[in-house]
Structure 1
């Protein structure tokens, strides 16, 4: 069997000639596209400068500059394609894009959703670059608001990329939205301590801490009667409301109160438990139908003798009952 190579060689020769013929168009198309890249950078910088002069936030200026740059690059790509492929006209190209537009829309639905959410975030400005926010399980400082996602730097120096649609549709806590922030710490004092005196000491010490604001004034409220202490809720305000200032303010308040309260004779009790043995309280202890739980009943004088002498064994109590 004889292998005929002539058709193959002829086709390869035609392809090579076609490529050599298209080289000038390819070079011109690349030069045109590079020119559009340069123009896109100029347009981006111009839009950014115009937005900043108009008083828009830095995030909005960045995003609109990127959108304008992408529009110029898209136009440059279409022009370059028509130069490289002369048979490709603008009408046929836009017709193909129109036919495939639905498929592209479904394929890039999430991207378009994040793009729209990013624009709405930049326009409505629920938070800005530099704000400290909480989104789900993530908390940190907003580093950048891009078209698709928002960059969040956590306090332990990790970068979290959050899609804009998630930030726009879910709850977001902006810790630095307002100029002041209220903090609180819990202090437990003994049941035998004077609550009014403890409040007076706490407020006096808070007035001497420079990071605690005088207006609004601090408050000390009784939060609950705990198992082993009377728990006080110490509330105070700080400015600025960033995380580092909050941690340092709480540290100073707790350190100050730890020294001041015992110096004024106010107890800071440890957790305690009390165990009652039923053979040490009342004579009826050990008798299941007559024994009492907890402390002895009032008005009953306890016999000073040990309970074993009063009731040698539980059988006597059962017989008496």
Structure 2
């Protein structure tokens, strides 16, 4: 190996000099960098024709062999500087430990390629059948990868002759300690699997979840992981909710069916015809663009108010969100108000009747005009008569 490099470079007579060996080592390093650069340069083209994970593993193995060959050459080059130095041959010095390393690399490479193939198979199956959501497919793919690498790890333990029994005993004690220390984390993890299979909501749904302090939060689901659910509120805040909190409380999904019914109350005067008021309100809601035509908007009489008959306006919106709900509600209120005004249907305000009792001597009405505040005729007629007002005496 040494004679090959020295004769090819024409530096056989310069070998005793350190500069020559440095020059040859640099040349070997340049070759290594060039070969690796060429391999990874053609990798994108190969990945379009072959499984990308297979290409990555092959390139890694080839790069490693080239690096090993050039390293052997460099070692031989520098070993020739000492006449009595033994010849260094890496390829002929593979011991049992070296074989185990080779097997370990092969097992890891096989696990890497196999997990990629299984993940793609799972994705293809879920895409064709449509039985799982994108979130469930992702979680199932990750579990598949974990299972493959776990199997590879057990195989490597046997290759390196590790006592599996002692390992399992230690792992058991470690699991107990971790379970006690991370109780909430494990609860959130189990709740994450529950959400994955029960599917109470999906990414993009509008949900409402109670909080630990007694309040509530609602927003659009942006991400679902094994440990937490992230939602974006309509005020622009991002809220991270532990999955155990989500599964242990009553959850409201406003967008599960893709549409939402909204109710708005309005009152009409007792002198107005209730049936006519219902018909006018229905026609007004049908003209609002934000309201769905199917199911049709409706209005029903729900009760008697203090000064009005109560109508409940019921209408539907699609792709529900808080913004769409308030936009539709505002448009419906404006349309119904305009229709009632046009048809002469009065929306009354609360009214009170105030009367004085005779046995208390009546009451005094105070005017807002300064010149009329102390006029005698501000008293009730019976009060003036009780006072003996001359204007109330018969002629």
2:328 counterpart (249, 261, 265): 249
On the 8 A contact 2:115/2:144 being kept in 1, the answer is: no
Task: Note closer, same or farther for the CA distance 1:250–1:264 as it changes in structure 2 (3 Å cut).
Answer: same
Please say if 1:93 is aligned against 2:167.
yes
1:217 counterpart (288, 296, 300): 296
Please say if 1:117 is aligned against 2:191.
yes
Which residue in the other structure is 1:58 paired with?
134
**C-alpha distance in 1 between matches for 2:239 and 2:158:** 41
Query: What is the Cα-based RMSD across aligned positions, in Å?
Result: 3.5
After superposing the two structures, state which structure 1 stretch, 217-226 or 139-148, moved more.
217-226
After superposing the two structures, state which structure 1 stretch, 105-114 or 163-172, moved more.
105-114
1:284 is paired with a residue whose SS is helix
TM-score, structure 1 as length reference? 0.68
2:238 counterpart (159, 164, 179): 159
- Correspondence list, 1:299-310, <5 A: 306-310=381-385
Task: Note closer, same or farther for the CA distance 1:89–1:306 as it changes in structure 2 (3 Å cut).
Answer: same
- Higher helix proportion: 2
Please say if 1:183 is aligned against 2:262.
yes
**C-alpha distance in 2 between matches for 1:229 and 1:81:** 81
Task: Tell which has more relative contact order, 1 or 2 (C-alpha 8 A, sep 6+).
Answer: 1
On the 8 A contact 1:142/1:152 being kept in 2, the answer is: yes
Cα-to-partner distance string for 1:79-114 (whole Å, 9 max, x where unaligned): 89999xx89644432221123332222223322222
Note the residue ranges of structure 2 that are not aligned, 5 or more in a row: 1-96, 211-215, 363-378, 389-395
Task: Note closer, same or farther for the CA distance 1:36–1:169 as it changes in structure 2 (3 Å cut).
Answer: farther
Q: May I ask how many residue pairs the two structures share in their alignment?
A: 265
Q: Displacement, 1:232? A: 1.5
On the 8 A contact 1:218/1:237 being kept in 2, the answer is: yes
2:339 counterpart (260, 264, 268): 260
Cα-to-partner distance string for 1:135-183 (whole Å, 9 max, x where unaligned): 1111111112211111112122221111212222221111111243221
Task: Note closer, same or farther for the CA distance 1:110–1:69 as it changes in structure 2 (3 Å cut).
Answer: farther
TM-score, structure 2 as length reference? 0.57
**C-alpha distance in 2 between matches for 1:79 and 1:108:** 29
1:216 is paired with a residue whose SS is coil
Q: Displacement, 1:275? A: 3.6
Higher Rg of the two aligned structures: 2
Q: Displacement, 1:71? A: 4.6
Task: Note closer, same or farther for the CA distance 1:234–1:107 as it changes in structure 2 (3 Å cut).
Answer: same
Note the residue ranges of structure 1 that are not aligned, 5 or more in a row: 1-23, 288-303, 314-321
